[in-house]
Structure 1
């Protein structure tokens, strides 16, 4: 006995809610092939207006398989009721073949989907890595810019201090030269000799005292110059210490940035995994289902339940 596939308005509404391609199905195609003429999955595709090489949405495949299986099971029950076991054996084997092909097709589609996810995941990894490198390149650049600013500020401060010191030294008067006791005694001797009109002795004392005075004045000026230079050297030494201390601080700052980058680089994969592990791999279920109840098969085994029967292990039910 032959039975033909007729879709009720409820079935059509259900398929429309799933965006199933049956909405584009030509009604004439249903009448061209009977259930007994369905031999493989390609014939199932042909009934619903698809070619064997067409890529069909997984939900649409489930609806097609469910409709054909229900129709073939109905015909099979009718055959066994009437004792047509020879035809029932043929139909049973065809149903098993279609089921096996359908399971293989589901595995093929799932592998294709996972390959696509892996490709997208690899692209995402490259994108995240590129963004990560750009982010830390910008941060390291900001740190280097901040270090340069602090060096410039210190350089300006030290330049002002140097200028202030030079201004102070320029305004500093020459020190009063304190003569030695010998020179003072010679000057006194010269004075008293000249009062006694002993000019010959006074001249000799004056010549000696003048030479000694020149020597002592040069010595005093040299000491004054050395004191000024010591103030300059002390300031330079202080500036060098300040630069070394600043470089130590800036080096620690740079090293802190490098350590933060290494820590972020190590933690970024774990953070990304925590954010994506719940949706990567395994099953991708329908994101929006309106109205009717839908069963989505497990990846390990295609569900084989009729409506109202227990849900197979691994299946997820949406309401």
Structure 2
């Protein structure tokens, strides 16, 4: 029994990583209607930024904070210089952000090389807990805790703050929000930076779990897109549920059906789309 508990906790830990990046992606898609295929690149950059800061003898926590801030600032720059000119032009957004993934990936190879790297687990969390006859790393429990705290923060921002009300209104009727005198472009910039920061956060936290390698941006983007599709556009709740499902399926699938784990993930997406084309928590778009 203990081995199943450990595997379930492992699946939830990976699910929390997927949730952090997918939450930013679904908010960007749902609020801004921007197809950002470069979102995985923010995950990649967050990891490598933290790795660089730690190589300068900064501790994990300071490196985490700085990596998230730098990634968010980079998101602001990209939104202001590039995305800002392409609102309402989905095809151009796809081409631009798809091209950005290659540019950022090649820059990462040039700066950091192509060798597999990893981020050391912080000393405070470099221990394990005993579950029956098995041990479970404390760091993975920390990742689960961060994901749950983030879910609570998103709930509070959405339902209890004026910013959340503006974002919800922007999802439903963007033109009306602008007519009320709210600077929609400023809101969009903030949302894009927030999404990029979440991707950077998940990248740093994922460093000790999955390592660092060029090409990880594409892998994580595919998974996060599946989470968004299952959960529904603009819904962080959907991302939370979808990410946990994907994390559990991947982890348990690699034990029971090692060659079919990703197939099961895609089958789940197909089933959800057949039953609820808008996703588990997505809104039905009226015609």
Shorter-chain TM-score above 0.5: no
Select the structure with the greater relative contact order (CA < 8 A; seq sep ≥ 6): 2
Larger radius of gyration: 1
Report the TM-score when normalising by structure 2: 0.22
